[in-house]
Structure 1
Amino acid sequence: MSHTRQVCVVVLCGLPASGKTSLCSKLINLETFSFVHVCYDSLLPWIKHNDGPVTWKTARSDAIGMVRHYLQCITHENLSSYDTEILKQDVCQYIHTKVSQSMLDSKPIVFLIDDNMQYRGMRYEFYQLAKSECCGFCICFLDCPLCVCEERNKKRPLEKQVQYKSLLAINSQMEVPGSTNVLWEKQVLNIDTSKSVLQPEGTTSFLQSALENPIQDVVTVDPLFAESCRQTNLINIRHQADLILRKICKDMIQSSDFLNELTIKCKSRHITEAKKRTLTEIKSDLFDTNAYVRKNGTINMVTLEDKLRLLMSAYIHEG
């Protein structure tokens, strides 16, 4: 797929209050490029992690789908609206308008993806998107100490402040771009935002380089990243399995017709032992984690829960 004009996807990465949105605001004023600002805080402000993994992942997936849609609109020079029931409608309309305006002039188009992007896998999704659409791709990492971000966060309006425990969590989760030998994550601009006032002009040559070197859709396998994905899926499945087992155990203990000949104390002991044996099997090499990971890398929660219920029932009846 080829573009008649230069297009680039820029992923901004950094802690909350590190200056990502401020940088975007200054970049947009530059006349060198035509910018489309995709701000996750505005696009899905109501989404919280405690809404559940399905809601959170679905919303983020929808945001990527919207960017893909508009990249394809630019490629085919045929603009259409993106249908969504999850993302905030007025922000979607703003993005649609910005894409429409960008398509009317001849400037290179730069999509600014404004989010924490602490996990390498989050950034990789946009790399894959840029590759599939033959766009440029790069990462701007806003390097700012946790203590500085904490002080800035306190100065925000209350409704825009990030909870301190969330700030700590994101800091601990941060996989710094370019810190490993991952082949695809080489186009990284580190910006120290701890003290100095942001100077967007310094990013112009960096963005121009990414625009002039679009990612070619050539099938390559990065063994380091493949192993990283495998380990991440393994950890995620074990974590999700533990959460599902807690729910299953609660359902079993509260059930009046399950093992009803046992006392509550005896029933709980049997269920707890079955849970331990189930978790041991999940952690063993005999448990095929690949059977519960879809081709797109997400976990098939329904299939996993069905398997766990079967294992629990089998171990309880054995015991």
Structure 2
Amino acid sequence: MSKRVLICLVGLPATGKSTLCSELLKQATNYDIEHICYDKHITTVDHVTDPSAWNKARQALNQNITNLVSSNKAETCCVRSKVFLLDDNFYYRGMRKEILHIAQRNSCVFGQIVFRVSKELAISANNSRCDTIVAEETIRKMSNLIEYPSEAWEKHVLHLAELTSYNESTTPGRIELVSQFIDFICEQSPEKDPAVEKLKREADRDETLNDVVQQCDILLRKVISQKIKDDRRSGLNVPYSVYSRTKSLFLEGIKTGEISFGDQPVTTEAVSLKFTVIFDDTQVEN
């Protein structure tokens, strides 16, 4: 079955992320790749001079990614999986968690590829770029701030070996390693939406609770019937309304959780015992 996969590329500027994506686009055969480079979409604002506008532009891009992923739902019947390579620094864990939430809401697989280099090599490679050059101070700050994947939710992560030379960024072995990782992640289960899962758990709990209430209702009729017979043999005359009120208190206690059977089965004996306790308590109060 085909999947939709969101992969964050994590690392300092000029570490070969975009170059590797270009090579993958030429070689990919088992899946369709869409390369989304954040720098090409967020070009009109600077995160240093205008962080507020930069954040808004970033959120707008993430919304566009959400729309793009959502529009690909109809294509999941295809044989080939759709892999979105999100090309950014993603140096804060919170940035990656935003992508995780997109994956959760759209039943996508989520993963990360980590590019590690020394800040000196990143600065050197950045200065030799023929296109967009990042300020050296920005790279130095990012190097100190970057939060590499380590949390439990960051379970599908490929840590590429640290580069000692920029020329190593697209070696055949490195490309093959990334291709194998993408093959692997395309076989993994999609992320689950916590909100949907919570609703499912609540629905399951309510269904279980309703089953217990129904079981108790049936068994209480037998218990009350037996108590009335025992009362007659003993010469007692307990009004049925008293038993009926106790039954109502019992069932209400089940619904509110005040009365529970835990892991024990709901049996006539267990119901009778709890019913007797409630009955005795109400008689004492009266």
Calculate the TM-score normalised by the size of structure 1: 0.55
> Can you list the C-alpha shifts for 1:4-34, whole angstroms capped at 9, x where unaligned?
7311000001001111101111111122211
Query: Could you say which residue in structure 2 is the equivalent of 1:212?
Result: 187
Q: Match for 1:173: what amino acid?
A: L
1:1-319 superposed matches below 5 A: 5-29=2-26, 30-77=28-75, 106-157=79-130, 160-178=132-150, 182-192=151-161, 193-195=163-165, 196-198=168-170, 199-213=174-188, 214-219=190-195
Displacement of 1:106 after TM fit? 3.6
CA RMSD of aligned residues (A): 2.2
Structure 2, unaligned runs of 5 or more: 199-286
CA 1:22/1:161 → structure 2, altered by over 3 Å: closer, same or farther?
Answer: same
Report the count of equivalent residues. 189
Whole-angstrom distance in 2 between the partners of 1:117 and 1:197: 19
Deviates more, 1:21-30 or 1:198-207: 198-207
> Can you list the C-alpha shifts for 1:53-102, whole angstroms capped at 9, x where unaligned?
3311110001111111011111135xxxxxxxxxxxxxxxxxxxxxxxxx
CA 1:25/1:217 → structure 2, altered by over 3 Å: closer, same or farther?
Answer: same
Q: 4+ residue stretches of structure 1 with deviation over 6 A?
A: none
CA 1:104/1:160 → structure 2, altered by over 3 Å: closer, same or farther?
Answer: farther
CA 1:17/1:64 → structure 2, altered by over 3 Å: closer, same or farther?
Answer: same
SS at match of 2:84: strand
Displacement of 1:209 after TM fit? 2.5
SS at match of 1:144: coil
Whole-angstrom distance in 1 between the partners of 2:179 and 2:135: 34
**Would the aligned equivalents of 2:116 and 2:160 in 1 still touch at CA under 8 Å?**
yes
Whole-angstrom distance in 1 between the partners of 2:181 and 2:48: 37
Query: Could you say which residue in structure 1 is the equivalent of 2:271?
Result: none
Displacement of 1:205 after TM fit? 2.7
SS at match of 1:212: coil
**Would the aligned equivalents of 2:2 and 2:77 in 1 still touch at CA under 8 Å?**
no
SS at match of 1:160: coil
CA 1:117/1:197 → structure 2, altered by over 3 Å: closer, same or farther?
Answer: closer
Displacement of 1:51 after TM fit? 4.7
Deviates more, 1:60-69 or 1:209-218: 209-218
Calculate the TM-score normalised by the size of structure 2: 0.61
Deviates more, 1:144-153 or 1:208-217: 208-217
Whole-angstrom distance in 2 between the partners of 1:153 and 1:144: 12
Displacement of 1:50 after TM fit? 4.0
Whole-angstrom distance in 1 between the partners of 2:164 and 2:41: 26
Whole-angstrom distance in 2 between the partners of 1:206 and 1:38: 19
Whole-angstrom distance in 1 between the partners of 2:184 and 2:107: 14
Displacement of 1:215 after TM fit? 1.1
Query: Could you say which residue in structure 1 is the equivalent of 2:202?
Result: none
> Can you list the C-alpha shifts for 1:253-284, whole angstroms capped at 9, x where unaligned?
xxxxxxxxxxxxxxxxxxxxxxxxxxxxxxxx
Q: Match for 1:165: what amino acid?
A: E
- Structure number with greater Rg is 2
> Can you list the C-alpha shifts for 1:207-254, whole angstroms capped at 9, x where unaligned?
223222211223589xxxxxxxxxxxxxxxxxxxxxxxxxxxxxxxxx
SS at match of 2:126: helix
